[in-house]
Amino acid sequence: MTIREFQKAIEAIYLTKDRARGIPANLAWLLEELGELAQALRKGDVSEAEGEFADTLAWLCTIASLAGVDLENVAASKYAHGCPKCHRAPCCCAV
């Protein structure tokens, strides 16, 4: 599944509810999922972390859809040629 296909799948499942909530409320859900991901990683629970990675990606897709952003397109345009600053892979920037 591509990033675009995943974003479209999340839209098909949740867009009506997500649109009614609006971007600020969906952003709060994303932040909550990031916190849950951080906890799972700290605990070293790989199975739980995998689920939280999926949830985090789903909420990110939701917010991108509500903002009219195609995540696959913007990710490819920014990172297709390596680091956006030094244009290398791996990155050679000082920081």
What pLDDT, on the 0 to 100 scale, is given for residue 27? 98
Q: Return the pLDDT at 95.
A: 87
Write out pLDDT tens, residues 29-70: 999 999 999 999 999 999 999 999 999 999 999 999 999 999
CB 65 within 8 A of CB 10: yes
How do the domains of the chain map onto residue ranges?
A: 3-79
Rg, Å, the chain Cα set: 15
Segment 26-30 shows an average pLDDT of: 98
**Which residues, 6+ apart, have CB-to-CB distance to 11 below 8 Å?**
61, 62, 65
pLDDT for residue 90 is more than 90: yes
> What's the whole-model pTM score?
0.91
CATH number of 3-79: 1.10.287.1080
Specify the pLDDT at position 55: 98
